[in-house]
């Protein structure tokens, strides 16, 4: 690579990108679209006499990925990642498992080989950190949504590394044995722990020392040098440079100087990030895309619909509320850099045909374009979903987050803690043994079938079926144990959040709903990865039928619990009205009203009700609850409205609000703060 070629490529790429992004700005289109168009123009696949050296551009684009991930890490101190980790981890596992399963089924439906279908599932399972980081920066999205999405992305990156470790020996003609998977996982965990421990001892102190020198250029050089050093170290151990760059950013953030350093590196980051998106555009081959347009359209649809559903499901089950869950799902509906790596791995090893790589690039390009639009419209989509849910489900969704909030804050008795740890260990052991039996049976299906054919004289079909039957019999006790343990775990956790009072158990209805929800989350956490893993070895319908029957049973139990909850909430609303009628000066600040707090003792499971009186300048004045969409925009629900002597319990969407009305609200603390701000007019929520 000579200096002239480097300079020429840089001039062509940035000059073209500058023109296209200005046009996109004038036409009010996403700036990423301008970068993709620039990539098409300067790429080798469009007959325009303006071609950039692809090798140079790809090298520079790698720097863009590293700097984007580093700046993202600067916003997330390790403590914050640990806080969001459990919820993000469950969401990522559910999402990746569903997409891996759907991708494989789709590949088989197109008549692709099993290996090609496996790679297709892996390609569509991982979202793009780079695309989301750019879109979130452009739309200035932060808070809980950003924390959740970034947490999911980090876990997905770890899943992608494991997928590469499994697919490489399979694509090379070997076997991805259980021991290999365990060793790969252990090496990854050991590397991450070692890097974080050593980094925490060295990096924050170094950054604070450099920052005290008060020389911004020195801070910039040291920070970026550290970023590339950790990325290089991560690559040397066989892992993603993006993961290393993110960890470097998180370690720097522990110094407390993350915000200042982020401002310093932003201009450099934006230049190289632009080159990354141009490089994506350069890889689009219109001719191959046209030849495989059906696969591109179907895969794009599956990526968008599948990821929106799976992420929304996982995020809601972990207590993020309808609005945040839908927004997270619509934010993660794309594929990106890891998908390129996986597609390239399959092509390099000869495991996939030439068509799959350009198809993956095309799907990534289309979803890169749709992502900003989906993020922008996610608030409206969440509002629509909230309005379309049955009334009992709306009530459940509003209270579920507050129950999990109570669970996180509740002091747990030693006996309950001991039982939780014991049952958790048994649950993990059952899940591990079940997965081991299933994976071992699937990996040894051909060999076991051949052995039975030779020994017992069976045909190939019955021999393979015999192996599966034996595996099913061995796995059945552990599967039953998982269902039972999930129910017992759910009951202990639910009782911690909603303890039973002496005498009449007034928390029975919400506790039952919470038990079913926790059981559903725990079962999905185990069942979905097993279904995704076993799908390539079993008839296409069998895992779906097994999982479907299980989910139908849990859904029926959930529906009954949600219906029973309505009576509990109606009684709670009456209690709230009685309490309000006995007080003359209801509180209007954001803290729970001291009198309304009695409701938590009188009728558990109602969250932390607060009272808000509408002022004359309230944006809710003369508007219906449906047009205001208070629950859809904030997650809080209205238990009752009092207007003089008039009382409305559990008002519907047609209820009109007036100045002077007293509203009793419940939900999570975050939802109540947002609802109070909206009703008082101090802050308008988006959507």
**Distance between CA atoms of residues 682 and 677, nearest Å:** 5
Domain match, 515 and 487 both: yes
560 versus 493: the higher-pLDDT residue is: 493
Q: Domain for residue 687, yes or no? A: no
Return the minimum-mean-pLDDT range out of 245-254, 344-353, 389-398, 404-413.
Answer: 404-413
User: Which pLDDT score, from 0 to 100, does residue 544 have?
Assistant: 67
Provide mean pLDDT across the span 40-69.
Answer: 81
Provide mean pLDDT across the span 389-393.
Answer: 75
Place 589 in a pLDDT band, splitting at 50, 70 and 90: very low
**Distance between CA atoms of residues 51 and 434, nearest Å:** 54
Place 174 in a pLDDT band, splitting at 50, 70 and 90: low
Q: Domain for residue 365, yes or no? A: yes
Question: Any alpha helices (H) in 498-541, and if so which ranges?
Answer: 508-534
Place 584 in a pLDDT band, splitting at 50, 70 and 90: very low
Question: Parallel, antiparallel, or unpaired for β 610-613 and 646-649?
Answer: unpaired
CATH label of the domain that carries residue 594:
3.30.70.1450
Residue (of 293, 290, 295, 287) closest to 110 by Cα position: 295
Between the ranges 308-317, 345-354, 490-499, where is the mean pLDDT highest? 308-317
User: Which pLDDT score, from 0 to 100, does residue 686 have?
Assistant: 44
Check: CB of residue 416 under 8 Å from CB of residue 496.
yes
Q: What percent of the chain shows pLDDT beyond 90? A: 7
Q: Is the pLDDT of residue 590 over 70?
A: no
Location of structure tokens 């890490």: 73
Q: Domain for residue 529, yes or no? A: yes
Q: How distant, in Å, are the alpha carbons of 11, 207, 316, 372 from that of 309?
A: 42, 42, 11, 18
48: its two tokens: 């325009």
Provide mean pLDDT across the span 572-594.
Answer: 57
**Distance between CA atoms of residues 445 and 537, nearest Å:** 8
pLDDT in tens, 157-166: 778 877 876 7
Location of structure tokens 């209801």: 586
Domain match, 320 and 239 both: yes
How crowded is residue 20: how many other Cβ atoms within 10 Å of its Cβ? Answer: 23
* Length of the chain (residues): 687
For the four alpha carbons of 309, 312, 317 and 323, in that order, the dihedral sign comes to negative
Domain match, 545 and 580 both: no
Provide mean pLDDT across the span 291-317.
Answer: 91
Domain match, 210 and 274 both: yes
Provide mean pLDDT across the span 359-381.
Answer: 87
Q: Domain for residue 570, yes or no? A: no
Domain count within the chain: 3
Domain match, 547 and 614 both: no
pLDDT in tens, 519-574: 888 888 888 887 787 777 666 666 667 767 766 776 777 677 767 777 667 766 77
CATH label of the domain that carries residue 372:
1.20.1530.20
Return the minimum-mean-pLDDT range out of 56-60, 261-265, 575-579, 598-602.
Answer: 598-602
User: Which pLDDT score, from 0 to 100, does residue 585 have?
Assistant: 46
**Distance between CA atoms of residues 568 and 572, nearest Å:** 6
Q: Domain for residue 685, yes or no? A: no
Domain match, 75 and 223 both: yes
Check: CB of residue 530 under 8 Å from CB of residue 482.
no
Give the H/E segment covering residue 261: helix 258-282
Q: How far apart are the first and last CA of the chain?
A: 50
User: Which pLDDT score, from 0 to 100, does residue 553 have?
Assistant: 72
544 versus 189: the higher-pLDDT residue is: 189
Q: Is the pLDDT of residue 305 over 90?
A: yes
Strand segments (E) across 365-519: none
pLDDT in tens, 138-160: 788 877 888 889 889 888 877 88
157 versus 331: the higher-pLDDT residue is: 331
DSSP 172-235: TTS---HHHHHHHHHHHHHHHHHHHHHHHHHHHHHHHHHHHT--HHHHHHHHHHHHHHHHHHHH
- In what order do the strands lie in the sheet containing 646-649? 610-613, 662-666, 637-643, 646-649
Q: Name the residue range of residue 19's domain.
A: 3-388
Place 412 in a pLDDT band, splitting at 50, 70 and 90: low
DSSP 306-374: HHHHHHHHHHHHTT-HHHHHHHHHHHS----HHHHHHHHHHHHTT-S-TTHHHHHHHHHHHHHHHHHHH
Domain match, 504 and 436 both: yes
642: its two tokens: 């009092």
Give the H/E segment covering residue 666: strand 662-666
380: its two tokens: 């409206």
pLDDT in tens, 447-473: 777 777 777 777 777 777 787 788 888
Domain match, 289 and 400 both: no
Q: Is the pLDDT of residue 254 over 80?
A: yes
Q: Domain for residue 686, yes or no? A: no
pLDDT in tens, 25-46: 888 777 777 888 888 888 888 8
User: Which pLDDT score, from 0 to 100, does residue 593 have?
Assistant: 53
Residue (of 98, 224, 92) closest to 161 by Cα position: 92
* pTM as predicted: 0.79
198 versus 180: the higher-pLDDT residue is: 198
**Distance between CA atoms of residues 310 and 315, nearest Å:** 9
Provide mean pLDDT across the span 352-369.
Answer: 85
**Distance between CA atoms of residues 629 and 631, nearest Å:** 6
Between the ranges 74-83, 246-255, 650-659, where is the mean pLDDT highest? 246-255
**Distance between CA atoms of residues 464 and 448, nearest Å:** 7
Checking phi first, is residue 321 left (phi over 0); if not, alpha (psi -120 to 50) or beta?
left
Place 120 in a pLDDT band, splitting at 50, 70 and 90: very high
Location of structure tokens 């740890």: 421
User: Which pLDDT score, from 0 to 100, does residue 229 have?
Assistant: 92
Q: How distant, in Å, are the alpha carbons of 119, 362, 530, 541 from that of 101?
A: 11, 21, 10, 12
501 versus 279: the higher-pLDDT residue is: 279
Check: CB of residue 371 under 8 Å from CB of residue 334.
yes
Q: Domain for residue 23, yes or no? A: yes
User: Which pLDDT score, from 0 to 100, does residue 330 have?
Assistant: 93
Q: Which of 338, 364, 388 is the last residue of a domain?
A: 388
Q: Which of 364, 388, 412 is the last residue of a domain?
A: 388
Domain match, 193 and 116 both: yes
Q: Domain for residue 284, yes or no? A: yes
Q: Which of 388, 417, 432 is the last residue of a domain?
A: 388
Q: How distant, in Å, are the alpha carbons of 10, 58, 257, 612 from that of 640?
A: 63, 59, 47, 11
**Distance between CA atoms of residues 661 and 492, nearest Å:** 40
Q: How distant, in Å, are the alpha carbons of 210, 211, 222, 225, 485 from that of 214?
A: 8, 6, 13, 18, 57
User: Which pLDDT score, from 0 to 100, does residue 600 have?
Assistant: 60
Domain match, 438 and 463 both: yes
Give the H/E segment covering residue 664: strand 662-666
**Distance between CA atoms of residues 470 and 448, nearest Å:** 11
Domain match, 45 and 123 both: yes
Check: CB of residue 642 under 8 Å from CB of residue 580.
yes
Give the per-residue SS3 of 290-315: HHCHHHHHHHHHHHHHHHHHHHHHHH
Place 687 in a pLDDT band, splitting at 50, 70 and 90: very low
Domain match, 64 and 119 both: yes
Check: CB of residue 131 under 8 Å from CB of residue 371.
yes
Q: Is the pLDDT of residue 300 over 90?
A: yes
Q: What percent of the chain shows pLDDT beyond 70? A: 85
**Distance between CA atoms of residues 455 and 306, nearest Å:** 45
**Distance between CA atoms of residues 619 and 265, nearest Å:** 41
């Amino acid at each position: 690579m000579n200096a002239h070629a480097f300079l020429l490529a840089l001039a062509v790429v940035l000059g073209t990108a500058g023109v296209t992004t200005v046009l996109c700005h004038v036409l009010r289109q996403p700036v990423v679209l301008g970068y993709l168009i620039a990539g098409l123009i300067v790429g080798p696949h469009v007959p325009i006499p303006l071609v950039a050296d692809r090798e140079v551009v790809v090298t520079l684009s790698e720097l863009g990925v590293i700097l984007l991930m580093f700046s993202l890490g600067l916003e997330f101190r390790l403590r914050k990642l640990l806080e969001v980790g459990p919820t993000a981890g469950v969401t990522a596992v559910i999402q990746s498992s569903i997409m891996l399963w759907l991708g494989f089924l789709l590949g088989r439906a197109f008549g692709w080989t099993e290996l090609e279908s496996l790679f297709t599932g892996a390609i569509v399972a991982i979202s793009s950190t780079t695309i989301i980081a750019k879109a979130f920066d452009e739309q200035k999205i932060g808070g809980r949504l950003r924390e959740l999405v970034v947490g999911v992305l980090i876990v997905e990156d770890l899943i992608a590394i494991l997928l590469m470790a499994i697919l490489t020996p399979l694509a090379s003609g070997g076997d991805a044995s259980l021991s290999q998977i365990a060793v790969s996982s252990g090496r990854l965990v050991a590397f991450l722990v070692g890097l974080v421990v050593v980094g925490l001892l060295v990096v924050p102190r170094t950054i604070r020392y450099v920052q005290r020198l008060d020389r911004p250029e020195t801070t910039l050089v040291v920070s970026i040098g550290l970023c590339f050093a950790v990325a290089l170290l991560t690559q040397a151990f066989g892992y993603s440079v993006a993961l290393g760059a993110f960890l470097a950013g998180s370690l720097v953030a522990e110094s407390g100087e993350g915000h200042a350093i982020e401002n310093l590196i932003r201009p450099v980051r934006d230049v190289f990030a632009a080159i990354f998106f141009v490089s994506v555009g350069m890889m689009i081959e219109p001719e191959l895309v046209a030849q495989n347009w059906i696969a591109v359209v179907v895969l794009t649809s599956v990526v968008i619909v599948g990821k929106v559903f799976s992420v929304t499901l996982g995020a809601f089950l972990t207590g993020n509320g309808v609005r945040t869950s839908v927004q997270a799902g619509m934010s993660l509906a794309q594929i990106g850099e890891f998908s390129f790596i996986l597609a390239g791995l399959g092509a390099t090893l000869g495991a996939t045909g030439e068509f799959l790589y350009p198809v993956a690039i095309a799907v990534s390009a289309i979803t890169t374009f749709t992502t900003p639009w989906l993020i922008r419209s996610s608030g409206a989509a969440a509002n629509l979903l909230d309005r379309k849910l049955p009334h009992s489900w709306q009530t459940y969704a509003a209270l579920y987050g507050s129950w999990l909030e109570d669970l996180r804050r509740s002091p747990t008795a030693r006996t309950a803690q001991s039982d939780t740890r014991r049952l958790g260990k048994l649950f993990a052991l059952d899940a591990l043994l079940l997965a081991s039996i299933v994976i071992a049976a699937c990996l040894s299906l051909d060999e076991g079938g051949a052995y039975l054919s030779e020994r017992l004289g069976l045909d190939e079909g019955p021999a393979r079926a015999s192996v599966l039957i034996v595996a099913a019999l061995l796995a059945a006790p552990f599967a039953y144990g998982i269902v039972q343990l999930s129910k017992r775990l759910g009951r202990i956790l639910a009782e911690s959040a909603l303890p039973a009072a002496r005498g009449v158990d007034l928390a029975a209805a919400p506790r039952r709903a919470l038990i079913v929800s926790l059981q559903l989350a725990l079962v999905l956490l185990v069942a979905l990865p097993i279904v995704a893993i076993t799908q390539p070895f079993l008839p296409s319908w069998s895992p779906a039928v097994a999982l479907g029957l299980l989910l139908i049973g849990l859904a029926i139990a959930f529906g009954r619990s949600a219906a029973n909850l309505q009576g509990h909430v109606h009684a709670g609303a009456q209690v709230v009205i009685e309490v309000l009628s006995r007080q003359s000066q209801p509180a209007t600040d954001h803290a729970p009203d001291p009198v309304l707090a009695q409701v938590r003792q009188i009728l558990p499971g109602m969250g932390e009700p607060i009272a808000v009186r509408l002022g004359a300048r309230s944006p809710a004045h003369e508007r219906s609850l449906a047009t205001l969409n208070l629950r859809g925009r904030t997650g809080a629900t209205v238990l009752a409205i009092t207007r003089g002597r008039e009382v409305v319990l559990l008002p519907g969407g047609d209820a009109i609000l007036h100045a002077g009305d007293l509203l009793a609200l419940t939900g999570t603390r975050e939802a109540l703060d947002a609802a109070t701000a909206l009703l008082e007019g101090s802050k308008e929520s988006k959507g």
